[in-house]
Amino acid sequence: MTTPTEQFGEFLQRDRSWHPPAYTPGYKTSVLRSPQKSLISIENSLSEITGPRFSPDELGPLDNDLILNYAKDGLPIGERILVHGYVLDENGRPVPNALVEVWQANASGRYRHKNDTYIAPIDPNFGGCGRVLTDENGYYFYRTIKPGPYPWRNQINDWRPAHIHYSISASGFAQRLITQMYFEGDPMIPDCPIVRSIPSEEAVRSLIAQLDRGAYVALDSRAYHFDLVVRGSRATLFENTIQGAK
């Protein structure tokens, strides 16, 4: 029987009006880094519905613990938080074995990157990256320090809201996604030109992690809940035109 719960198939068309367009002049770097010609839409083939697979033994035991995975002679400074949630597809089904990679600034808004020259100090005990594979329910979690906001050269006084960068690699290469997670209640979210590259308020809200009081660890850390949605497979009810695919 062929149903929408079939594991592999072509993906639902991406809703490009929901995502930020390429050209968003308020975010100045996009002006010279956006294609001027239309994207050419192609039907999915094996090249798009397949993608790299990852296995748990490729990750280290501390890869999802940003509090400890770069600690040298003590703990990093800042707010201890746990971030957790589910990766689902557009059909609402959990996405197991998705590679979730995150990176971020430290508590003062400084990145451990040779090109970051912001005056705020590097934390010797904080690296700022982690990764985790979702389990069979699509669930993931990691521990970290809440990042600080930081200034950037766009308009002269633009500041990014606190955020954690996310990369998701699910089952098919066409699902590949990079995004950013923001924190509930941050007043800088609506000011940000990068946030505002997204056309609708509703789509922006989907990037804001919610404080999850039920998941606090008493006398240790607070928690945020953040779910992600990747493209879902569409039902092939009549015929499979992707030759060589199941």
Partner 1 sequence: MFRELNKPFYLKETASQTAGPYVHIGLAPKQAGFDIFENNFGNVLVTPETKGERIRLEGRVFDGSGALIRDVLLEIWQANAAGRYNHPADKQEDKPIDPSFRGWGRGTSDFQTGVYSFDTVKPGAVVGRHGKLMAPHINVWIVARGINIGLHTRVYFSDEQEANAKDPVLNGIEWVERRKTLIAERTEKDGQAVYQFDVHIQGPNETVFFDV
Shortest Å distance, C-beta 178 to partner 1: 5
45 binds partner 1, rule: CB under 8 A: yes
Pick the closest to residue 7 from 244, 212, 234, 164 (CA basis). 234
One residue of 68, 71, 97, 112 binding partner 1 per CB under 8 A:
112
Show the CA angle centred on residue 162, arms to residues 151 and 146, nearest 5°: 125
Size of the site for partner 1 (CB under 8 A): 97
Choice between 81 and 233, CB closer to partner 1: 233
As given in the structure block, the two tokens for residue 129 are 């990256």
Q: Tell whether residue 14 is a contact of partner 1 (CB under 8 A).
A: yes
Q: Determine contact, residues 104/224, Cβ cutoff 8 Å.
A: no
What residues from 170 to 209 belong to the interface with partner 1 (CB under 8 A)?
171-174, 176-180, 194-195, 197-198, 202-204, 206-207
Closest CB to partner 1 among 88 and 223? 88
- Any contact of residue 124 with partner 1 (CB under 8 A)? no
Distance in angstroms (rounded) separating the CA atoms of residues 198 and 200:
6
Is residue 118 within 8 A of residue 152, CB to CB? The reply is: no
Residues annotated as catalytic (active site), given as ranges? 111, 150, 160, 163, 165
Classify each residue of 43-82 as buried b or exposed e, where b means 16 or more C-beta atoms within 10 Å of its C-beta: ebeeebbeeeeeeeeeeeeebbbbbebbbeeeebebebbb
Task: Provide the b/e sequence for 88-127 (b: ≥16 CB within 10 Å).
Answer: bbbeeeebebbbbebbbbbbbbbbbeeeeeeebeebebbb
Residues 138-167, interacting with partner 1 (CB under 8 A): 165, 167
111 lies in the site for partner 1, by CB under 8 A: yes
Of the residues 5, 18, 137, 155, which one makes contact with partner 1 according to CB under 8 A? 18
- From 72-80, 85-93, 136-144, 212-220, give the range in contact with partner 1 by CB under 8 A: 85-93
- Smallest distance from the beta carbon of 228 to partner 1, in angstroms? 5
- Nearest Cα residue to 18 out of 230, 171, 181, 201: 201
Residue indicated by tokens 């997204």:
198
Shortest distance in whole angstroms from residue 118 CB to partner 1: 11
- Does 127 interact with partner 1 (rule: CB under 8 A)? yes
Among positions 208-227, residues that touch partner 1 (CB under 8 A) are 227
Half-sphere exposure of 142 (CA within 13 A, CB side): 29
Measured from the CB of residue 218, what is the shortest distance to partner 1 in angstroms? 27
- Residue 92 interacts with partner 1 (CB under 8 A): yes or no: yes
Nearer to partner 1, 15 or 191 (CB): 15
- Asked if 108 is part of the footprint of partner 1 (rule: CB under 8 A), the reply reads no
Q: Per CB under 8 A, does 33 bind partner 1?
A: yes
